[in-house]
Structure 1
């Protein structure tokens, strides 16, 4: 994730004799994050979600490949990441902790260069974040919602001008799956 920002324009006021009378630093504008994802375990469904390009189906309607078409700027996806916190857990009784990242709206997914050889094939996808995405508190259990450690959605909604949320959680990541998974909207995600 790389910051994408504009530094803004500095304003300098000079007197007729050339002396600086006033100076105002330009206000930077945060545009979002430019993303680079390296994918080692690829499925056609994942490529469709990341790029908005269609899957290619076999005779039985199962996804077996994907088409590379135009950049789909009108589609997007959310990206959730868990990174294990190494070392001593901070919370009493914690069996593990993760650093949780949420990027609620990623768009402009584009497959990068592809090199095919005798080594494993990996794909690179680039994209950029947008603010908002209507994520709210989200449809998934990502943090404890009480002292008993009951997993639940985020406790407060993600703001409409936000590009990313990051926090430490003791709720483990979900089990991996290569198939499409339904998104069940949580009544608290408004």
Structure 2
């Protein structure tokens, strides 16, 4: 596939990670949903300091442009569904449970800088070859930010118009996720789904590639993250 065109966002999955960016296995490990408006991934770049040598007569004797430093991505997710499970994974704020032990709400507390999550986005792909080969129901472009921290909810206004929530956070480089816990890419010509073939580099914040492996189905509950013993 040489010229894919990114179309609509499709599905998002968030996965709980520990203080080193490693996925945490367990019955409340992840959450999958599709009720969102947008996911912005804004590059955070320090432009660096220019070095300039100026003579007394005003002539520039020498000049060196500062080297920009990439700090990561500041994410902004606009979504609609008020899910206690999603908010707990991404912000660390505690869930409020009903009489039957099921989540019914959440508390807004302090910002937790120790909690973290991975976020994946599948977006539809357009193009003449989007359904070629073993693409099944079509190819998608896959975005992975394996380690996001400082998740917090933005302002919320309830009125006569539709209400939306905003989640912000910041990526950190790589993390300890390795090739990941999920089957997200084809591993052979038959299209067999498997884990990523190589881990994300130690200085990297995001990975993007075309995949024909279907995204997970949205759910209104925690999705277990089962890891091999």
TM-score, with normalisation over the residues of structure 2?
A: 0.76
| Aligned counterpart, 1:101 | 143
Q: CA deviation at 1:86?
A: 2.0
Counterpart of 2:225 in 1: which secondary structure? coil
Superposition map of 1:138-153 within 5 A:
138-153=180-195
CA distance in 2, matches of 1:83, 1:9: 37
Indicate if the aligned counterparts of 2:44 and 2:73 stay in contact, CA closer than 8 A: yes
Q: Deviations over 1:147-187 (max 9, x none)?
A: 11000011110112111000111111011122222223369
Q: Deviations over 1:73-120 (max 9, x none)?
A: 111100001001023234424230000000111111111111112344
Q: CA deviation at 1:17?
A: 4.1
Match of 1:124 among 166, 169, 174: 166
Match of 1:111 among 138, 153, 164: 153
Which consecutive unaligned segments of at least 5 residues does structure 2 have? 1-40
TM-score, with normalisation over the residues of structure 1?
A: 0.91
| Aligned counterpart, 1:24 | 64
The number of aligned residues is 187
Match of 2:127 among 71, 87, 92: 87
Counterpart of 2:168 in 1: which secondary structure? strand
Counterpart of 1:171 in 2: which secondary structure? coil
Indicate if the aligned counterparts of 1:81 and 1:101 stay in contact, CA closer than 8 A: yes
| Aligned counterpart, 1:68 | 108
Which consecutive unaligned segments of at least 5 residues does structure 1 have? none
Counterpart of 2:87 in 1: which secondary structure? helix
CA distance in 1, matches of 2:99, 2:178: 39
Query: After the TM superposition, which parts of structure 1 deviate over 6 Å for at least 4 consecutive aligned residues?
Result: none
Match of 2:92 among 36, 45, 52: 52
Indicate if the aligned counterparts of 1:138 and 1:186 stay in contact, CA closer than 8 A: no
Q: CA deviation at 1:136?
A: 1.1
CA distance in 2, matches of 1:20, 1:186: 63
Indicate if the aligned counterparts of 2:134 and 2:190 stay in contact, CA closer than 8 A: no
- RMSD over aligned CA atoms reads 1.7
Indicate if the aligned counterparts of 1:72 and 1:108 stay in contact, CA closer than 8 A: yes
Indicate if the aligned counterparts of 1:101 and 1:166 stay in contact, CA closer than 8 A: yes
